[in-house]
A and B are shown apart, each in its own frame.
Chain A
Amino acid sequence: MSRQAIQEPTFLILTALAAGPQHGYGIMTDVSRISSDRVKLRAGTLYAALDRLRGEGLVDVDREEVVDGRLRRYYKLTSGGASVLAEEAARLQANARVATTRLRKLGAAGLANGSA
């Protein structure tokens, strides 16, 4: 695989946007929800990540709205972003599968050793 593994906050931001375009605050709350409150993004981290992802062409601006006199920008996943997310999900899935299989074997061996 040519691409480096992406970090968890980035993975979660892309996952949040996979559900459809969202604004900054929406992404923040969605990331908390997806990670069961384990990952709490703050504005500084979120916008640094969004800026980088936009630069890499993984995320783009979907539309802009003005709510209560304040700019609200909606971000969407690009096709490049979707394929990176799919690639990363497959990688994590494959790793998880290997780990689960080995743990199962370990469990079976442990049980066998224990009963011997």
Chain B
Amino acid sequence: MSRDPDVSALERRYRRLLAWYPAEHRRTYGDEMIGVLLAATPLSRRRPGAMDIADMIRGGLRARLRLGRARRGDVRWRDSLAVASVVIPAFMVFYELAYFAYVAYEMRSPDGVLGLTYVTRNLLILAIIMAFIALPPVLAYLRLRFAALAVCLVQILFYNYLAFSSFDTRGATIEAAPCFALACLLEAVALAHSPGPRRAKDLLTPKTWPAVTLVGLGLTLPSHVVSRLFLLLAGPVFPAALAIAGVDLFSSTYEVTFIYLPTLAIAGAAATFSVRSQHRGEFPGNTSAAA
């Protein structure tokens, strides 16, 4: 029959429109909707009508909005944010430790004295930095949520100040400042919209901690060891990856990821751009700036 290819082309176009709907909706109603759309379309038509396209887009966006609203009250969604409230500062700590270890390794001398001197001289600074990072979840754990959010705000302002100031010296915090500002913003969101670290303590079992540690080290270590260019990728990616991992591992609600991802992508892109403009000419491939 000559109509078949047309019908399948029409079906394909309708299926493409289904992408506007959340996966859950597609799974439940997708085939059924295609059947209804095809039944309601005159046989002579090869493409979806403008009204149908508008209706599908409107319906899809409405379904996503409704799902988002439902998920916000969802315990799993709040649980994954609770996990994120602990994992975000943990990743920042991993990052600082990895950088510290990397610099100590780079400064090594045959007798091992230089590397050791670097470690002993900077140990106190490292401890202060790590305490500063860990402060929001600790305060939240002590049921001082407003204080925790206030510290997050201070951190965001501080990292933004570092990101947009010019320093002669380099350090882990300075290089990762835009990413840290983003991570602190996520931390504030996680603390504001979830039961926080107390709940995370129940969720993070001895089985899940090694996984979180491995992902954290996997994402932060190469940024120092392989090349500094990797920092540009790893920096914005790590908060995004941990949010996705948190959501997917602990809640299995992929729709949440879909809503969360564009926001993270925009923030990540902004952070990357910021780091790039800071390190103009320092990285391979940045020839225009180096010229």
Report whether over half of chain B's contact residues are helix, strand or loop; otherwise say mixed.
Answer: helix
Q: A44 an interface residue at 8 Å Cβ cutoff?
A: yes
Given the known A-B contacts A43-B37, A51-B63, are A71 and B51 also in contact in the complex, defined by CB atoms under 8 Å? no
Contact across chains for A43 and B66 when beta carbons are under 8 A apart: no
Given the known A-B contacts A45-B59, A47-B59, are A24 and B33 also in contact in the complex, defined by CB atoms under 8 Å? yes
Q: B58 an interface residue at 8 Å Cβ cutoff?
A: yes
Q: A52 an interface residue at 8 Å Cβ cutoff?
A: yes
Interface centre among A42, A50, A72 (most CB of B within 10 A): A42
A44 and B51 CA atoms in complex are apart in Å by 10
Chain A count of residues within 8 A CB distance of the other chain:
17
Interface centre among B35, B36, B56 (most CB of A within 10 A): B36
> In the assembled complex, how far is the CB of residue B262 from the closest CB belonging to chain A, in whole angstroms?
21
Interchain CB contact (< 8 A) of A71 among B32, B40, B62 = B32
> In the assembled complex, how far is the CB of residue A27 from the closest CB belonging to chain B, in whole angstroms?
9
A73 and B29 CA atoms in complex are apart in Å by 9
Given the known A-B contacts A25-B39, A51-B25, are A70 and B31 also in contact in the complex, defined by CB atoms under 8 Å? yes
Q: For B59, what are the chain A residues with a Cβ–Cβ distance below 8 Å?
A: 43-45, 47-48
Report whether over half of chain A's contact residues are helix, strand or loop; otherwise say mixed.
Answer: helix
Q: For A42, what are the chain B residues with a Cβ–Cβ distance below 8 Å?
A: 40, 51-52, 55-56
Given the known A-B contacts A43-B52, A44-B55, are A25 and B63 also in contact in the complex, defined by CB atoms under 8 Å? no
Q: A82 an interface residue at 8 Å Cβ cutoff?
A: no
Taking CB atoms and an 8 Å cut-off, the chain A residues in 15-52 that contact chain B are 24-25, 28, 42-48, 50-52
Q: B28 an interface residue at 8 Å Cβ cutoff?
A: yes
Q: B60 an interface residue at 8 Å Cβ cutoff?
A: yes
A38 and B188 CA atoms in complex are apart in Å by 50
> In the assembled complex, how far is the CB of residue A115 from the closest CB belonging to chain B, in whole angstroms?
50
> In the assembled complex, how far is the CB of residue A58 from the closest CB belonging to chain B, in whole angstroms?
15
Q: B34 an interface residue at 8 Å Cβ cutoff?
A: yes
> In the assembled complex, how far is the CB of residue B50 from the closest CB belonging to chain A, in whole angstroms?
11
A44 and B25 CA atoms in complex are apart in Å by 11
CB-nearest residue of chain B to A47:
B29
> In the assembled complex, how far is the CB of residue A56 from the closest CB belonging to chain B, in whole angstroms?
11
Q: For B28, what are the chain A residues with a Cβ–Cβ distance below 8 Å?
A: 51
> In the assembled complex, how far is the CB of residue B31 from the closest CB belonging to chain A, in whole angstroms?
5
Taking CB atoms and an 8 Å cut-off, the chain B residues in 1-42 that contact chain A are 25, 28-29, 31-37, 39-40
Q: For B62, what are the chain A residues with a Cβ–Cβ distance below 8 Å?
A: 48
Interface centre among A24, A47, A72 (most CB of B within 10 A): A47
Q: A42-B55, A47-B36, A52-B66 given; name 8 further pairs at CB < 8 Å.
A: A24-B35, A42-B51, A43-B36, A43-B37, A47-B29, A51-B29, A71-B35, A72-B32
9 cross-chain pairs, A with B, having the tightest CB-CB distances, nearest first: A44-B59, A42-B55, A44-B55, A44-B56, A24-B36, A48-B59, A70-B35, A43-B36, A25-B39
User: Which residues of A line the B interface, CB within 8 A?
Assistant: 24-25, 28, 42-48, 50-52, 70-73
